[in-house]
Chain A
Amino acid sequence: MDTRKKIKTDNNKTKHPQYGMVVDLDKCTGCGACSVACAVENNQQPATPDMCSRTGNTWRMMYKVKNGEPFPDTKAVFVPMFCQQCDDPPCKYVCPQNAVELDPMTGIVAQIPERCFGCRYCHAACPYEARYFNWWDPKWPEGMEKTLNPDVSPRMRGVVEKCNFCHGRWQSARAKAAAEGRRELREDEYKTACQESCPTEAITFGDLRDPDSKVSKLVKDPDTFTILGRLGTKPKVFYRTTRSWVRRTVDRDIYSENKEKVHG
């Protein structure tokens, strides 16, 4: 019995947009602009001197993934990894105090820092390592707090945070649309910071429910896939590549590889 399929999602009932993202790995140059733009947009704290890659707070973490071959046959691809906004988010089901919610209005997995008490069970649950705990008190150099984004509250020490598809931008966009008397957002009205920052436009973002949106068209592309989709968490972030080695390396599916071997 596969319980993973049994978990119901609230979203099947909703008619609201369900936001998703496609990252084109062939276009990503790994410049890192998205990581910094994301940090600026979401008021992520700068590193303390003792921070390291394992204790940092990088909602949008860049990985350089290699094909496993040594010099001189090495190839690499850059994979930005962040909350995959699963439709069956394992983090949501494990959170003891409802600090993680699947927003039916957007399909965004929201992390509510005000409710979080920092047990980090969600870290253990997340296969994408996309959750970040505030191991330190957030500190900005003197005066720099003036540059904080007014749409996003800084989080405090001891709570978990993660990518939320720039939820603050969604709220601003909604407020703007509401002021114009509209309830629905246009595709270009709500963009994530990483999407906006990407110099090669490797990121496509939009409503997965809208069959005409760029993102839902891309999702149908056979070159588009999810990472660890077979775990059944139904991520709403997709990756795209036309390079077979990239796909094999990034989404190492031993099961299907074995099948391939049997057939050929």
Chain B
Amino acid sequence: MDLPSDVSDVISNRIEYGEAIIMSKTFNRRDIIKLVGGGLAGMVFTPIPWKLLDDISIWTQNWSWIPVPPKGEINSKYSICTICTAGCGIRARCVAGQPVSLWGIKDHPVNDGALCPLGFGGHHLAYHPARLRHPVKLVNDNNTITTTEADRDDIISIIADTIANIGSGRSNEIVAALDNRPGRTVSFAYRKLLAEIPNGMYVTTGSNGTDSMEGFSEITGENVNTFGFNIEKAKTIVSFGAPLMEGWGIPGRVYGAMKNGIHDKQFKLIQVEPRFSHSASVADQWIPVTPGTEAIFALGIAHVLIKQNFVEEVDESYKNLVAEYTPQRVSDITGIRRELIVDTARSLATNGPALILCGREPAGGPFSREEQIPIWGLNSLLGNIGPDKMIVPRNPVPAGKSFQDTELATVTKLSDVPDKSIRVLIIDESESGNAIPWQLIERKLVPDKAFVVSLSPYLVGMTKRAHYVVPAPTHLESYQDIPPSFDARTATYAVSAPMYTPPDKVTEPVEFLKLIAEKTGSDMPTGSYTDLIRERAGEIHKKNRGWVYNPTNGRITETADILSERQFWGLLNDGGYWIDEPVNDTQVTVKSLFGSVGKEKLKSKLDDISRPNLALQVKYPVMLVPFGWRGVVDSGPVTPLISKLYQESEFRQGTNRALIHPDTGSLYRLRKDRPAKIITEAGELTVRVEFNDSIRPGVVHVALGPDQDRITGVKEVKIKENVLSVSAVNGHGTWRSTPARIQTV
């Protein structure tokens, strides 16, 4: 190709010129410095340094160890919370299938959009650091727990061998399963297996709330599982220690009453409780009775109600008993002004319907049976019991077909189990949300020989006492069925559908039971747990009663309109909630206001409780009263973000924080934020002192909160002392207050 001459000249010139530059010998070090210096100076006028500065600033905000949240398609899944017995409906916001937040569902018939703080962190539990992903053997060395991986079959063999030993000998030793959440399908499976094997015993604690309804059971002679409360209808609720605002029953129901009624003065809460608790703070009125005198206060109310003719017919002998509890006398015992007793009784009668609740302090346990009787008795006096009243009967939820017409172990209360009798204990450890002191269980075990297996997915709480753990799937990892909460108005049923896949080596408790059955030659249903749940759902569908709430569209469908079992199951799978019809045709009769206890015994018991033991007071001048919030006082894990309420704010007191009136503090020369020692008959506990002038002088409230290992896990697992370790646990399974001594360390 020929180029025009002028062009080729230019090119050749350029080449020469370029060569000249390259060949130039005068290009020395000074020139390089000049070039670099000039270049740098010139750079300032280009965008390069500024871009670089921006990049540096971006770099300083993106350190590699700061996690980057994964992105993906966002959708909603519906299910049921299984953290406690309330069974709240939840909506999970999922990113690429992974739940990133959980929410209550607005207008949900059960929890009405509400979820407790623990529920909001439910999706964290699968990643909890204390999670166990395979069976382990625990060795307790001086309260420090070490774990080694164990083989599930070995554990089953040990159990089967022990069962065989018990069966062959004439031993009274018991094989027991402890279930804090009776009524689930797995509960039936436990009962089935335990009925099959010799000396099998199905044990419950009542910590799901039913332990506070014992008194109700006493006066009516009815099973508490067939009654619920009509909270939504109540204008006044008198709560005898029921922690309505700390997560009682289905929390959303109480909150719903607050939400709807507070500004219209439609809802009034009177809290009868020695401590200025959370509920007492929210309540319209706080009645700070002397600890242990709640029942006397109830009798005082009854006295006024009867005397002022607010009650139509009352048994004469009950009248006689109540007559002794004049407002003045009650005032002397409870420390409440006479007028307040009278006013409270009047407002109950006039600002009705009024519901009287007797509750269980989540950490402090239930009232004793004798204390409960007069409290529940008030409901009878006010005519509160019966269909469409305050305490309503409800249908039981049918069991699955496999568990109908077959022998099931009877339900035994833990307190009724003979001491030192349990040889094999299987702890289900689905948490009820309320505390159970280990002493209560420990005293039932055969000393040194007992074999304890926990099915907990986590190495926390009570599980640390076990010899072996066969971890179960956790919250939202497998199908679980949700029987009604103890307070539910009608029977309900729902299924918590899984959102996660469980790790390989975890075992569904039903499968574990089946393996034991196989080894011991017992008869057990063959279906998987999901099959058994589905079977039960089928039974409910067959009843053709009630409605199903569908959270995906908020629609309520009559069960009768759901034609197929499959459709019903599908609805439950989508977070649907079956709600039974109210029971309208059963009349409830009150058998005796004294329950099975009898007038004289009740009176003497109550007098015992309310009479100060002066001899004991010399040695133990203060009263130790545990307290805590539901869901954190039990022994399961909690979301690490619960630290926002415990550690990162002063809002809730963490474990072993002692609330003491400043006067009491100065009496015992305690100092704020310093450790102090509490001494009881049961032992010693070091607590941290917090002065609080809303506390009754002479009382020490010690918090039972989540331990660090339950929040974020710990490197070294230890069994730690808490307030329950030094509380006196009586034969009836209560430990509400303990005489104690406090001193500086």
Tell me if chains A and B make direct contact, with any CB pair below 8 A: yes
A147 touches B258 (CB 8 A): no
Q: Mark A50-70, 1 if CB is under 8 A from B, else 0.
A: 011101111011111010001
Instruction: Indicate whether B281 reaches chain A with its CB closer than 8 angstroms.
Output: yes
What's the nearest-Cβ distance from chain B to residue A152, in Å?
A: 7
Counting contact residues on chain B (CB < 8 A from A), the size range is 35 or more
CA–CA, A32 to B651, complex, Å?
Answer: 9
Which residues, 345 to 378 on B, are CB-close (under 8 Å) to A? none
Which residues, 126 to 177 on A, are CB-close (under 8 Å) to B? 137-138, 140-150, 152-156, 159
Instruction: Find the B residue at minimum CB distance from A72.
Output: B288
B115 touches A35 (CB 8 A): no
B67 touches A74 (CB 8 A): no
Instruction: Find the A residue at minimum CB distance from B102.
Output: A40
Instruction: Indicate whether B674 reaches chain A with its CB closer than 8 angstroms.
Output: no
Contact stretch, chosen from B1-9, B204-212, B605-613, B635-643 = B635-643
CA–CA, A48 to B126, complex, Å?
Answer: 20
Q: Which of A29, A33, A61, A156 is in CB contact (< 8 Å) with B258?
A: A29
Instruction: Indicate whether A17 reaches chain B with its CB closer than 8 angstroms.
Output: no
Q: Which of A46, A61, A70, A242 has the most CB of B within 10 A?
A: A46
Known: A46-B643, A53-B647. A147 touches B255 (CB 8 A): no
Q: Which residues does chain A contribute within 8 Å of B66, judged by CB atoms?
A: 138, 154-156
Q: Which residues does chain B contribute within 8 Å of A63, judged by CB atoms?
A: 651
Q: Mark B43-60, 1 if CB is under 8 A from A, else 0.
A: 000000000000001100
Q: Which of A39, A46, A142, A199 is in CB contact (< 8 Å) with B115?
A: A199
CA–CA, A21 to B256, complex, Å?
Answer: 21
Instruction: Find the B residue at minimum CB distance from A35.
Output: B644
CA–CA, A152 to B282, complex, Å?
Answer: 34
Instruction: Indicate whether A120 reaches chain B with its CB closer than 8 angstroms.
Output: no
What's the nearest-Cβ distance from chain A to residue B264, in Å?
A: 11
Which residues, 172 to 204 on A, are CB-close (under 8 Å) to B? 193, 196-197, 199-202
Instruction: Indicate whether B184 reaches chain A with its CB closer than 8 angstroms.
Output: no
CA–CA, A37 to B93, complex, Å?
Answer: 12
A30 touches B127 (CB 8 A): no
Q: Which residues does chain B contribute within 8 Å of A141, judged by CB atoms?
A: 124, 127-129, 640, 712-713
Counting contact residues on chain A (CB < 8 A from B), the size range is 35 or more
Q: Which residues does chain B contribute within 8 Å of A147, judged by CB atoms?
A: 98-101, 123-124, 127
Instruction: Indicate whether A106 reaches chain B with its CB closer than 8 angstroms.
Output: no
Known: A43-B69, A145-B67, A149-B101. A32 touches B127 (CB 8 A): no
Q: Which residues does chain B contribute within 8 Å of A27, judged by CB atoms?
A: 258-259, 262-263
Q: Which residues does chain B contribute within 8 Å of A24, judged by CB atoms?
A: 263
Instruction: Indicate whether B70 reaches chain A with its CB closer than 8 angstroms.
Output: yes
What's the nearest-Cβ distance from chain A to residue B290, in Å?
A: 11
Instruction: Indicate whether B321 reaches chain A with its CB closer than 8 angstroms.
Output: no
What's the nearest-Cβ distance from chain B to residue A129, in Å?
A: 11
B694 touches A76 (CB 8 A): yes
Instruction: Find the A residue at minimum CB distance from B252.
Output: A199
Instruction: Indicate whether B27 reaches chain A with its CB closer than 8 angstroms.
Output: no
Instruction: Indicate whether A2 reaches chain B with its CB closer than 8 angstroms.
Output: no
Known: A76-B281, A153-B69, A156-B63. A30 touches B99 (CB 8 A): no
Instruction: Indicate whether A212 reaches chain B with its CB closer than 8 angstroms.
Output: no
B61 touches A36 (CB 8 A): no
B70 touches A197 (CB 8 A): no
B69 touches A148 (CB 8 A): yes
Which residues, 112 to 126 on B, are CB-close (under 8 Å) to A? 112-121, 123-124, 126
Instruction: Indicate whether A26 reaches chain B with its CB closer than 8 angstroms.
Output: yes
What's the nearest-Cβ distance from chain B to residue A223, in Å?
A: 10
Q: Mark B122-139, 1 if CB is under 8 A from A, else 0.
A: 011011110000000000
Known: A26-B262, A53-B650. A44 touches B288 (CB 8 A): no
Instruction: Indicate whether B696 reaches chain A with its CB closer than 8 angstroms.
Output: yes
Q: Which residues does chain B contribute within 8 Å of A149, judged by CB atoms?
A: 69, 100-101
A35 touches B645 (CB 8 A): yes
Q: Which of A30, A150, A155 is in CB contact (< 8 Å) with B278?
A: A30
Q: Which of A39, A57, A196 has the most CB of B within 10 A?
A: A39
Q: Which residues does chain A contribute within 8 Å of B651, judged by CB atoms?
A: 30, 32, 35, 61-64
A56 touches B648 (CB 8 A): yes
Q: Which residues does chain B contribute within 8 Å of A142, judged by CB atoms?
A: 127, 129
CA–CA, A155 to B278, complex, Å?
Answer: 33
B712 touches A47 (CB 8 A): yes
Instruction: Indicate whether A114 reaches chain B with its CB closer than 8 angstroms.
Output: yes
Instruction: Indicate whether A207 reaches chain B with its CB closer than 8 angstroms.
Output: no
Q: Which of A29, A51, A144 is in CB contact (< 8 Å) with B124?
A: A144
- 13 chain-A/chain-B pairs, Cβ below 8 angstroms: A33-B119, A35-B644, A35-B651, A40-B120, A41-B101, A62-B645, A72-B288, A76-B276, A138-B66, A141-B124, A141-B129, A146-B70, A150-B69
14 A-B pairs besides A47-B711, A199-B251 with CB distance below 8 A are A27-B262, A29-B278, A32-B652, A37-B117, A37-B120, A56-B644, A56-B648, A70-B693, A78-B282, A147-B123, A150-B95, A150-B100, A156-B66, A196-B103
> Interface residues, chain B, CB within 8 Å of chain A?
57-58, 61, 63, 65-72, 74, 95, 98-104, 112-121, 123-124, 126-129, 245, 247, 251-252, 255-256, 258-259, 262-263, 276, 278, 281-282, 286, 288, 639-645, 647-652, 661, 693-697, 708, 711-713
Q: Which 9 A-B pairs have the closest CB atoms?
A: A56-B648, A199-B114, A47-B643, A46-B640, A74-B694, A148-B69, A145-B67, A199-B255, A143-B127
